Amino acid sequence: FIDKEKKSAFIKAFNHPEDTYRKPPTMMGASSAILEGLKKARSNLAKANLQFDKLSQDATLKELVVKQLYLKTILPGNEKKLGKEDRVRIGFVMEDIEGNILFANHDSWINLSETFPGFAHGLQGMRVQEKRILFVHPTLAYGALTTLPPCSALTIQVQLLDIDSQTLGTLPLLKPLDLSWVEDSYFYNNIEESLIQQPYFTGIFYRE
């Protein structure tokens, strides 16, 4: 145990077992890392909701999904328009809500059918050489279960460079991820309580 309190709880249960210590934690797999990740997800989701409340009042933006997906054209294109084609060549910079760059590529071919919904649908109707800024809520992006900061709202500056006319694909469904569990206080409290129970229960286990 790194935590001194948990170490003391383990030793206490090992040396002086009580029946109350025998109750298994609600979530045996709970860990401090999981709790910290959930705290970060809750914080990021709250920031995202606040940001998109403000974006919904910005008349300069085009709304694709209420409080979840917005775009703004900053440079109009004058060539071919993206239709049902799947493979496109783009340059982009993807940032989180604090302006940290998560991904960037000045020239890359991607398949829209393999990207997340907010990005794929945000590019629809673009013309070659057009530049847009996309604002994507985490429910239409990577959600909470990701190697990126969980529940990150994304700001993506993207330019369409070319379209592969020979490829057709199906866009990912524009269906928001369910992130209600992130804000569920019952789920959060179960993790906290389990972290308290674990060292006592483990102490009894090793004693026996």
144-189 pLDDT, tens per residue? 999 999 999 999 999 999 999 999 989 999 999 999 999 999 999 9
Quickly state the pLDDT bin for 8 (edges 50, 70, 90).
very high
pLDDT top residue among 180 and 28: 180
pLDDT at 28 over 90: no
Q: Is 3 left (phi over 0), alpha (psi -120 to 50) or beta?
A: beta
| Contact in structure between 27 and 194 (CB atoms under 8 Å) | yes
pLDDT at 81 over 90: yes
pLDDT computed for residue 189 by the predictor: 95
pLDDT at 71 over 90: yes
